[in-house]
A and B are shown apart, each in its own frame.
Chain A
Amino acid sequence: MDNKEYLREEIIRRSGVNPSKCMRCGKCSATCPAYDEMEYHPHQFVNMVESGDIEPLLNSESLYKCLSCFACIDRCPRNVEPAKLVEAVRLTAIRKQGANRMTADDVPPIIDEDVPPQLLVSAFRKYTK
């Protein structure tokens, strides 16, 4: 199995999603509140995972734009669960050596007094290994 195929299998296994169930209706992208921020939109995510185009996704900022609101999961008529794919790709990206999205040092300059500490903790969980 080459790396491309391996990555694809890995993402599918990690997410538990079967992208071939997608019928290309685009409801995920229609419903996505972060759509305009994204380079690759939810329906493209599904399509690219299905065709094994994982590398561009791994390097895309889109991974961190997904709010994990799960609107796409809720509304997908085929139960494809695109957000889980995004999550799986994101995990693959940050699990790489030194690929943490954020380190503890990055936090103080951007911290906002009003941000609840719980949010910081969960952001940390999401963006680090």
Chain B
Amino acid sequence: MQRVGVFVCWCGSNIAGTVDVEAVSEALKSEPGVVFSTNYQYMCSQAGQDMIKDAVKEHNLTGIVVCSCSPRMHEATFRKTAAAAGLNPYMVEIANIREQCSWVHKDMLTGTEKAIILGKAAIAKVNLNAPLTPGESPVTKRALVIGGGIAGIQTALDIADAGFPVDIVEKKPTIGGKMAQLDKTFPTLDCAACILTPKMVDVAQNEKIRIFSYSEVSEIKGFVGNFDVTIKKNARFVKEDVCTGCGACVEKCPMKKVPNEFNLGMDNRRAIYIPFAQAVPKVATIDPNACNMLKNGKCGLCARVCTAGAIDYTQKDEYIEEKYGAIVVATGFNPISMDKFDEFAYNQSKDVITSLEFERLTNAAGPTAGKLLRPSDGKHPHTIVFVQCVGSRCDACAEKGKEYCSKICCMYTAKHAMLTRDKYPDTEVYVFYIDVRTPGKNFDEFYRRAVEEYGVKYIKGMVGKVTPEGDVLKVQASDLIANKQLHIDADLVVLAAAIEPDKSARPLATMLTASMDTNDFFTEAHPKLRPVESPTAGVFLSGACQGPKDIPETVSQAGAAASKVIGLLAKDKLTGNPCVAHSNELMCNGCSSCERVCPYGAITYIDKEFRMPDRTTKIRRVASVNPAVCQGCGACTVTCPSGAMDLNGFANLQIMAEVDAICK
């Protein structure tokens, strides 16, 4: 039996005005377990707290009930008081007789009556309380960043800057991501390469950062502070540490007709290739699907020309195991496929392109060396039609596109239109829009400049149909302001395709037990207050994997994610919330129901050996809760039919004792 002390607070007249505090402390005196009961003007004051401490010593109290304001207000205060008096802080229960009693009831009699019942419930609960100690787990002081785009790069740099080692896993042969493919960036129009490549070099030169390029995460185990990750390093058939990136092999490779994915297939690369001049790491990679040597053992030219001897046709996929304290997801985005949008003739004409392809066409390092030429015949286009919202803002049941606004299209289309008019003033540029959405610093000004200074023709309306006819594209569109249907003979049509999370995100979320929304964007722990954390502890979100974002927003989120990671890695130990679920192995059936409802993946199953009454042993599958991961919601406790699963601090018996006390 506990020795409970009851402390009734007046809260000045806040409580005492509607509740007879004297009567309450008197009535609660005779409750089971209560050895001391008193009341005081302000329990939370220093004098009030001292009163509690003294009573603990004087009466050897093992439990404390404070009848006062909401536990959301002062539970933490009184827990500290208890701890200072040498009691376990979780031996404190609060009866909320202010917010939920004196402030909502007018009549002294009813107020007092209810306060007594609330006090009884708290006493009934504290009688069943057990001292709780928060679990501690060590923190591996190393972070993993999955994805080497601008989001991953910025996060890694910021974490490394704070002195913690970081590994970047990038599935492509080089880091840089989408930003490396861009030409200029809005709203300042500085070139993407000029601001990105120095950062890539910083990453390469930073001692704290390791880059696993051409690699994927294949397995994740563990929990916050203690992730065990297996990284699959795909065979690139070139020894990374030996290759100097001279490019001699690339020049000699006879396989010249491999579509170049970096230029979105608009030109060709060799079977051995370096994606672009500033690639990091700058090493060659052999495409096993194109290389003759790897396919049928005939060729071997690259090995012969490589003076460094870096080519290794026998290289195998390598698996690396590493421990991490935190994981940052920065898997980014891709434009959606245009296959379902027949009306824009994307698959019928080479001159209907996506905006990302347009970026490559205008990029000095692109397939046309920066000259804006039509992919079909290499001629300069004179009339260009930009179509906004292709696949964005679609109704869910339309099944072609995405429900959300892709956010970046309005700005990059304004940029494309402006740059085109700037370089080629003889070009007619039309932009068909539904709404122009340009919130952001200097964004709307940028768009207005495109219209007012560069003469881009913005038309409120949509393109309904694009028909290739000869070497022109017949564009049929509506102009809603003029209430006219327009027919434009265009040379080039650029589609602002919606963006979607990278396909690797979904399997990764499964490995991480991190939640995702229906669009496969990662869910944040709180949409406003914890926007860079996943609900799964130790997993952080950076960039477009969480939702469409432009570069400034991505970089600031990347920094925010890094600061959260640093905050975690700076700790030597993690102190958990002791109010977590635990499973009674003797009663657990191993039925897996709890595992299915756990939002955090905190429950795993182990095979446990039990001694049977007849001295034999039996191995049974039982649930085991990881207290470092469990957040204490209690979903598992209700789904468990045998009652093996229970929640510390809110145990079945405790809540039932409260029910009984109230219903007496």
Complex Cα gap A24–B435 (Å): 9
Q: Could you tell me if A30 and B477 are in contact, using CB atoms closer than 8 angstroms? A: yes
At the interface, yes or no: A71 with Cβ under 8 Å from chain B?
yes
The A1-45 residues at the B interface (CB cut-off 8 A) are: 21, 23-32, 35-36, 41, 43-44
Q: Could you tell me if B394 and A77 are in contact, using CB atoms closer than 8 angstroms? A: yes
Q: Could you tell me if B485 and A36 are in contact, using CB atoms closer than 8 angstroms? A: yes
Known: A25-B434, A31-B465, A75-B343. A43 touches B395 (CB 8 A): no
The A41-72 residues at the B interface (CB cut-off 8 A) are: 41, 43-44, 71
Q: Could you tell me if A27 and B480 are in contact, using CB atoms closer than 8 angstroms? A: no
Q: Could you tell me if B393 and A79 are in contact, using CB atoms closer than 8 angstroms? A: no
Most buried by B among A26, A31, A32, A41: A26
At the interface, yes or no: A95 with Cβ under 8 Å from chain B?
no
Q: Could you tell me if B478 and A77 are in contact, using CB atoms closer than 8 angstroms? A: no
Q: Could you tell me if B395 and A79 are in contact, using CB atoms closer than 8 angstroms? A: yes
How far is the CB of A10 from the nearest CB of chain B, in Å?
A: 24
Interface of A: prevailing SS: helix
Tally of contacts, chain A with chain B, CB under 8 A: 72
As a 0/1 sequence over residues 385 to 413 of chain B, the CB contacts with chain A under 8 angstroms (1 = contact) are 00001000111011011000000000000
At the interface, yes or no: B138 with Cβ under 8 Å from chain A?
no
How far is the CB of B323 from the nearest CB of chain A, in Å?
A: 47
Complex Cα gap A32–B395 (Å): 20
Q: Could you tell me if A30 and B476 are in contact, using CB atoms closer than 8 angstroms? A: yes
Known: A26-B462, A27-B462, A41-B483. A79 touches B476 (CB 8 A): no
Known: A36-B485, A41-B483, A77-B401. A31 touches B395 (CB 8 A): no
Q: For A74, what are the chain B residues with a Cβ–Cβ distance below 8 Å?
A: 343
How far is the CB of B390 from the nearest CB of chain A, in Å?
A: 9
Q: For A30, what are the chain B residues with a Cβ–Cβ distance below 8 Å?
A: 461-465, 476-478, 485
Q: Could you tell me if A29 and B401 are in contact, using CB atoms closer than 8 angstroms? A: no
Complex Cα gap A4–B478 (Å): 29
Which A residue's beta carbon lies closest to that of B475?
A: A30
How far is the CB of B493 from the nearest CB of chain A, in Å?
A: 13
Q: For B483, what are the chain A residues with a Cβ–Cβ distance below 8 Å?
A: 41, 44
Q: For B398, what are the chain A residues with a Cβ–Cβ distance below 8 Å?
A: 76-79
Q: For B485, what are the chain A residues with a Cβ–Cβ distance below 8 Å?
A: 29-30, 32, 35-36, 41
At the interface, yes or no: B460 with Cβ under 8 Å from chain A?
yes
Q: For B476, what are the chain A residues with a Cβ–Cβ distance below 8 Å?
A: 30-31
Q: Could you tell me if A79 and B461 are in contact, using CB atoms closer than 8 angstroms? A: no
How far is the CB of B128 from the nearest CB of chain A, in Å?
A: 54
Interface size on B, residues (CB 8 A): 23
Which A residue's beta carbon lies closest to that of B343?
A: A75
Q: Could you tell me if B395 and A78 are in contact, using CB atoms closer than 8 angstroms? A: yes
Known: A25-B434, A77-B389. A71 touches B464 (CB 8 A): yes
How far is the CB of B432 from the nearest CB of chain A, in Å?
A: 8
Count class of interface residues, chain A: 20 to 34
Q: For A28, what are the chain B residues with a Cβ–Cβ distance below 8 Å?
A: 464, 478
Complex Cα gap A44–B484 (Å): 12
Which B residue's beta carbon lies closest to that of A77?
A: B394
Complex Cα gap A45–B620 (Å): 68
Q: Could you tell me if B480 and A24 are in contact, using CB atoms closer than 8 angstroms? A: yes
Q: For A80, what are the chain B residues with a Cβ–Cβ distance below 8 Å?
A: 395
As a 0/1 sequence over residues 168 to 199 of chain B, the CB contacts with chain A under 8 angstroms (1 = contact) are 00000000000000000000000000000000
How far is the CB of B188 from the nearest CB of chain A, in Å?
A: 30
Q: Could you tell me if B461 and A29 are in contact, using CB atoms closer than 8 angstroms? A: yes
Q: Could you tell me if A31 and B464 are in contact, using CB atoms closer than 8 angstroms? A: yes
The B460-516 residues at the A interface (CB cut-off 8 A) are: 460-465, 476-480, 483, 485
Complex Cα gap A4–B512 (Å): 56
Q: Could you tell me if B464 and A29 are in contact, using CB atoms closer than 8 angstroms? A: yes
Which A residue's beta carbon lies closest to that of B479?
A: A26
Q: For A77, what are the chain B residues with a Cβ–Cβ distance below 8 Å?
A: 389, 393-395, 398, 400-401
Q: Could you tell me if A23 and B462 are in contact, using CB atoms closer than 8 angstroms? A: no
How far is the CB of B311 from the nearest CB of chain A, in Å?
A: 50
Which A residue's beta carbon lies closest to that of B396?
A: A79
How far is the CB of A103 from the nearest CB of chain B, in Å?
A: 33
Q: For B400, what are the chain A residues with a Cβ–Cβ distance below 8 Å?
A: 77
Complex Cα gap A27–B479 (Å): 10
Q: Could you tell me if A21 and B389 are in contact, using CB atoms closer than 8 angstroms? A: no
Q: For A71, what are the chain B residues with a Cβ–Cβ distance below 8 Å?
A: 464-465
Q: For A27, what are the chain B residues with a Cβ–Cβ distance below 8 Å?
A: 462-464, 478
Complex Cα gap A76–B394 (Å): 8
Which A residue's beta carbon lies closest to that of B463?
A: A30
Q: Could you tell me if B478 and A43 are in contact, using CB atoms closer than 8 angstroms? A: yes
How far is the CB of B465 from the nearest CB of chain A, in Å?
A: 5
Most buried by A among B393, B400, B465: B465
Q: Could you tell me if A25 and B343 are in contact, using CB atoms closer than 8 angstroms? A: no
With contacts A25-B461, A26-B480 known, what are 10 further pairs, Cβ within 8 A? A25-B434, A26-B462, A28-B464, A30-B464, A30-B465, A31-B465, A31-B476, A35-B478, A41-B478, A77-B398
Closest 3 A/B residue pairs (Cβ): A31-B464, A30-B464, A27-B462
